[in-house]
Amino acid sequence: MAYKDSDARRIARQIFERFGSRIDEACEASSVPTAFLAGLIGVEAGKDRRGRLREDATRFEAHVFNRLRQVRDGLRKSYNGISRRDLEQASDGAISNLATSFGLTQIMGWHMVKNLRGSIADLRDPDKHLGYAVELLEITAKRYLVAGDYESVLRIWNTGRPRGKTYHASYVPNALKVKAFYQELSAKAESGKELSGEVDLPEGPVTFTGIETTSEEGQQFRSSEEDDPGFRDVAVSTRDLGQSAVETVDQVTRTVETVRRGRDSLKAAISTWSQVIFQPLWALVAAFGEIQWSKWLTVAAIVAIALLAWHHRQLVMGKIRELG
């Protein structure tokens, strides 16, 4: 059955969360990408009713059992390179184990006779199984792994041939789909680790600009004034700028007060000048009226006095507007 994207994503996440660290360890220093091994697990591992991958899953292959027993009994020359000499002491129970596939990648037991070194118990051990899987992949399909031809690698694993027809038509597409989602999860996890600053600190202090970190004591922050002349110059310039700003504000405040006092004094002086100038003028006009000079002379005097008063008032108002 072909995996839907949601199915492949769920399987990839389960593999990543449950077996990610073991996959990384098994694939280290090999030609097998971690995402490829995850994709292989995604199509090989057995599942329980809830869809949980089973590390202890086994599958007995009756036709393999019959052929191996024929080799042991001398009825068949060999099977996948296994000869009668390899099986002459094997019981039916032992041959049954050789005809069974085990674990997350369903490695056939007979590989422990032909290609791998160990026991069936080792193959069933979850801590060793993925290491055997990587070893077997490199034995049977390394040139395809190096070339990045993962479809051929999957066909070799399932059929023994790079162009073999898989039992399930969706075997290869499903594995590659799980591989892609697993790779996406790995990339996101790595990106998250970098962004969160999750790095391994070396032993001893590590000095950055203005920061000293020690693996044993965590991070200790200290001033860089004594170590960085540039930092010291910037600090001094900043202090000087602040002091200048304060002095400027004080000076402006004093200037405003001076202007206010000057404006008030000028207003008082103008009032005094008006009293000194205008009152005598009006008194003079009244005097002209009392003397009863000729009418034309009286009118001329009034006009002259009015023009002089108007001109003086314009000068005074101009000064007031300038002071503001």
Mean pLDDT, the chain, integer:
79
Q: C-alpha distances in angstroms, 9 versus 4, 6, 44, 183? A: 9, 5, 16, 11
**CB-based contact 97:123 (threshold 8 Å):** no
Q: C-alpha distances in angstroms, 241 versus 165, 224, 232, 233? A: 80, 21, 14, 12
pLDDT tier at 206, thresholds 50, 70, 90: very low
Give per-residue pLDDT as tens, 35-85. Answer: 999 999 999 999 999 999 999 999 999 999 999 999 999 999 999 999 999
* Spatial CB neighbours of 128, under 8 Å, sequence gap ≥ 6: 118, 122
Mean pLDDT to the nearest integer, 184-209: 62
User: CA-CA distance, 230 to 223, in Å (whole number)?
Assistant: 13
Measured at the CA of 73, the angle between CA 72 and CA 77, to 5 degrees, comes to 70
pTM of the predicted protein model: 0.61
